């Protein structure tokens, strides 16, 4: 018995120490890999989706910031005139600014969404399981808000480049310099409030719809993961619902962002809305270009969600394969 008492305390620390040292760094490393995967997948998803619809996006912005009446015929004419006067690649004018913004925006948004899902899952007791509807909406809204707050000045620059000729702004840096010098640094955040108010329902409903459709699909089909075409369809539905809900605030945001170069003065969200409705009408003004968004939005969001999911799956497989080789 004497020997048992002496040996117990001596052996116990030796058994415990390696477990503590080995597991914690491994868990930290796993979490870092997960965050890095989300950032890379989100960046690629945003770049592919936005580049695919850039000509439609530029055309939509040009209608949003003008008093011209929108129609599919007029949109086609504008695209064709731009092509004839400025060349094919002019249809992607402002896309470099879009990429500078959308790559960090999408990376932050998708990564933040994964982290918020995990946090809310812990808080509501759904760790490892699908969130219920309300936390699912909150996770999407928080992710969109986080990304918008970090990258907003880049969105402002992109809008300016989309509605101005090449002679006015030669590069992204030139836009920043001219706005700062001629209009003040505050201008870089003009339209920020309607952006955040629009992002909350847009991102919340987009992520909510996509995650919900995936869950419903898994429950009814018995398959853990939907196929790529199914992901595209779920993403398209998410984009359609999210963008329709927040569209008037998107119009207000664009008007406020481009006021300095188009000769308008918009001091607040409500005054901007009132002026648009008074001059152009409720539907024709605040929902101008929405029909184009019903084409562009579902395509972009569908591509974005699908690219993110498939890139995540691919990266996990590559890492798993590399781990097995070691």
Is 15 among the domain residues? no
Judge if pTM exceeds 0.85.
no
- Note whether 251 and 218 are same-domain residues: yes
Is 6 among the domain residues? no
Predicted confidence at residue 262, as pLDDT, reads 62
Look up the CATH number of the domain holding residue 85: 1.50.40.10
Is 82 among the domain residues? yes
CA 283 from centre of chain: 26
- Note whether 148 and 252 are same-domain residues: no
Gap between the Cα atoms of 300 and 54, Å rounded: 10
Is 123 among the domain residues? yes
For residue 278, what are its two tokens? Answer: 């008074």
Is 63 among the domain residues? no
Q: Which domain covers residue 76, as residue numbers?
A: 68-189
Gap between the Cα atoms of 82 and 159, Å rounded: 17
Residues whose CB falls within 8 Å of the CB of residue 178, separated by 6 or more in sequence, listed in order: 169
Q: Is the pLDDT of residue 116 over 90?
A: yes
For residue 49, what are its two tokens? Answer: 């989706």
Among 153-162, 178-187, 200-209, 284-293, the range with the most confident prediction by mean pLDDT is 200-209
- Note whether 149 and 236 are same-domain residues: no
Residues whose CB falls within 8 Å of the CB of residue 149, separated by 6 or more in sequence, listed in order: 196
Q: How many CB atoms lie within 10 A of CB 167?
A: 6
Is 52 among the domain residues? no
Is 273 among the domain residues? yes
Reported as a single tens digit per residue, the pLDDT across 68-115 is 777 777 888 888 888 888 888 778 877 877 788 889 999 999 999 999
């Amino acid at each position: 018995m004497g020997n048992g008492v002496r040996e117990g305390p001596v052996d116990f620390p030796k058994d415990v120490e390696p477990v503590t040292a080995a597991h914690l760094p491994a868990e930290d490393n796993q979490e870092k890999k997960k965050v890095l995967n989300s950032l890379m997948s989100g960046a690629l998803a945003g770049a592919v989706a936005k580049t695919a619809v850039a000509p439609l996006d530029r055309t939509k912005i040009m209608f949003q910031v003008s008093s011209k009446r929108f129609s599919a015929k007029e949109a086609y004419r504008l695209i064709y005139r731009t092509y004839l006067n400025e060349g094919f690649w002019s249809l992607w004018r402002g896309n470099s600014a879009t990429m500078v913004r959308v790559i960090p925006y999408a990376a932050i948004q998708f990564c933040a969404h994964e982290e918020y899902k995990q946090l809310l899952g812990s808080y509501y007791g759904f760790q490892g399981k699908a969130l219920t509807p309300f936390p699912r909406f909150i996770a999407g809204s928080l992710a969109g808000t986080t990304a918008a707050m970090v990258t907003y000045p880049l969105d402002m620059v992109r809008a300016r480049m989309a509605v101005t000729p090449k002679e006015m702004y030669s590069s992204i840096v030139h836009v920043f310099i001219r706005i700062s010098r001629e209009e003040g640094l505050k201008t870089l955040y003009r339209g920020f409030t309607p952006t955040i108010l629009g992002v909350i329902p847009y991102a919340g409903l987009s992520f909510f719809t996509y995650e919900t459709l995936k869950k419903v699909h898994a429950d009814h089909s018995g398959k853990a993961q939907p196929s790529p075409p199914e992901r595209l369809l779920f993403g398209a539905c998410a984009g359609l619902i999210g963008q329709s809900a927040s569209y008037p605030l998107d119009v207000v945001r664009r008007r406020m962002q481009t006021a300095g170069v188009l000769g308008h003065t918009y001091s607040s969200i409500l005054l901007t809305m009132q002026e648009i409705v008074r001059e152009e009408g409720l539907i024709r003004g605040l929902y101008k270009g929405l029909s184009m968004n019903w084409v562009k939005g579902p395509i972009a969001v569908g591509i974005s969600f699908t690219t993110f999911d498939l890139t995540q799956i691919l990266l996990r497989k590559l890492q798993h394969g590399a781990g097995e080789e070691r």
